[in-house]
Amino acid sequence: MDASKKPLRISPELGVYAEKHGVFQMLQRMLQCLLVDKPMDPIQFMIDHLKKVNDEVPRIFLLGPPVTGKLTVAKLLCDRINTNLLTLDSMLADVKSEFANEINRLNSKSKEIPNTLWAKLILEWLSKTDCIKRGWVLVGYPRTREQAIALQEMGIAPEHVVILDAPDTVLIERNLGKRIDMITGDIYHTIFNWPTSNKIQKRLEKPDGITEEETVKRLLEYRRVSHGILNSYRKKYHIVNADQPSVDVLSQVLSHVQSRHRSIAPYTPRIILHGPPGCGRSLQAALLAQKYRIVNVSCGQLLKESVAAETRFGEAIKPYVESRQPVPDVMVLKCISQRLSKLDCSTLGWVMHGFPQDIGQAEMLKDAGFIANRVFFLEVPDDAVIERITMRMTDPVMGERYHSIYKPAPTSEVCSRCKVNPKDSEENMQAALEMYHANVEDLEQFYNPVIHVNADQDPYTVFEYIESCVVKPLPKQTSVFI
């Protein structure tokens, strides 16, 4: 920070570091914990928080009406993300817990269990070291708004809330076929999940409460109070249709719990667009720059501007540009570094295309301190690339660009005077595509994670997808949380 200038300017490196390590989100989470726990020694509390808490671990509520397969999906989800599965039954089985013993005592006397007692039991489990380190998935609780408020008063706040739901008629029919293995506790179904072992089939029994009347009663009770849960977690919940194969349900649940919520942290876009010739990088960069007021950095355009300005640098690269030879990487990097170092790029952000084109250039850009936070690969089939490039032409009189298929010349006179750029020949395009494919895999690995975009469609559809990935936080990189 430069204290000699007004207003004070913060070094761009600080912003890159804070974004990379999630400093803002970490401080936000610590402040939330301080307000909830209200420790006597806040400083020591924050030190202990940093030592033991991993804010990236999953904290998930998996809710929904009866018979939606919550437990089945939860088991599959916990196996995929390596986290702890918590159910009310498993917590009540802990004979060492005073809260569990008190709830069991009240249950035996058919007395109502206070919501605060449930919340204390859940907090006891969530405070265990394994839940702190690996996270948790809580199944089937809370069921009402009052229970949700009791959890919130204890400082229990999920990162994601997943609600499985399906039409009542489907749930009633599904419940009628439910069977339980009384030895293992596994749940089966006469249609959807029947065991292959004859031994298991013989010991399956009908559970209590699966008649149509009882199921309808439970569903009506759930529908009566479900709006309270939605209101309690209206910014975090996501409803998944449970009337589909469990694999598809798991895929949608996994996609949601890997997403990150929108953050109010300062964010400066630093975008790189990769793709073969003719994929539309220039157009997408122009659209992004226009809408979000970021700087459009075109490598080729920068080099041409330097030559036209007749600067010392421009004179140095002029022979390469005029002879259509590649400009040395060191000189290209110098030109790009000068542009990206300017105040508008540092404060507003930038979108760059045309560089880097191989792993060596990518490493040089990284070493220079310019690190992108979004990297897109625009994918177009080779045949479509050749069709896009080789059939385009320019009217030398009016300067308009046309295409034999997508934008033909308006008259035969205009068509007759149109010229095709020699570099757009099919032979040159084949060579450019071979070079691109030779480097694309290394670049994808270098910039992992990258975002792949199908650019063989309407350019504004492509822009909408790119835009959504720019404004939303990137999902967690892997499906396994450590």
295 beta partners: 350
- At residue 142, the pLDDT reads 94
Report d(CA 16, CA 371) in Å as an integer.
Answer: 8
353-382 average pLDDT score: 92
Per DSSP (E only), the strands in 44-98 are 59-63, 84-86
69-83, 303-317, 344-358: range with lowest mean pLDDT: 303-317
Q: Judging by beta carbons within 10 Å of its beta carbon (0-12, 13-18, 19+), is residue 145 exposed, middle or buried?
A: middle
- At residue 481, the pLDDT reads 36
Report d(CA 453, CA 281) in Å as an integer.
Answer: 11
Specify the pTM: 0.73
Instruction: Place 6 in a pLDDT band, splitting at 50, 70 and 90.
Output: low
Instruction: Place 406 in a pLDDT band, splitting at 50, 70 and 90.
Output: confident
Instruction: Place 480 in a pLDDT band, splitting at 50, 70 and 90.
Output: very low
- At residue 42, the pLDDT reads 87
Report d(CA 20, CA 24) in Å as an integer.
Answer: 10
Instruction: Place 87 in a pLDDT band, splitting at 50, 70 and 90.
Output: very high
Distances in whole angstroms, Cα of residue 299 to Cα of each of 38, 79, 296, 359 = 53, 46, 10, 16
Smallest Cα–Cα separation from 132: which of 33, 272, 273, 270? 33
Mind listing the pLDDT tens digit for each residue in 421-432?
A: 888 888 888 888
- At residue 28, the pLDDT reads 80
Instruction: Place 37 in a pLDDT band, splitting at 50, 70 and 90.
Output: confident
Smallest Cα–Cα separation from 71: which of 189, 186, 219? 186
Q: How many Cβ atoms are within 10 Å of 293's Cβ, its own excluded? A: 10
Report d(CA 348, CA 343) in Å as an integer.
Answer: 8
Mind listing the pLDDT tens digit for each residue in 263-301?
A: 777 788 999 999 999 899 999 999 999 999 999 999 989
Domains of the chain by range and CATH?
10-55 (1.20.890), 57-257 (3.40.50.300), 270-471 (3.40.50.300)
Question: Does the structure show a pLDDT above 50 at 189?
Answer: yes
163-167, 217-221, 403-407, 441-445: range with lowest mean pLDDT: 403-407
The DSSP letter of residue 479 is S
Looking at per-residue confidence, does 11 or 219 come out higher? 219
Instruction: Place 72 in a pLDDT band, splitting at 50, 70 and 90.
Output: confident
17-27 average pLDDT score: 80
- Non-local (6+) Cβ contacts of 451 within 8 A are 374, 375, 376, 377, 466, 469
Looking at per-residue confidence, does 18 or 6 come out higher? 18
- At residue 8, the pLDDT reads 54
SS3 424: helix
Q: What is the mean pLDDT of the chain?
A: 87
Mind listing the pLDDT tens digit for each residue in 320-333?
A: 888 878 889 999 99
- At residue 191, the pLDDT reads 72
Tokens linked to 245: 């194969």
26-34 average pLDDT score: 81
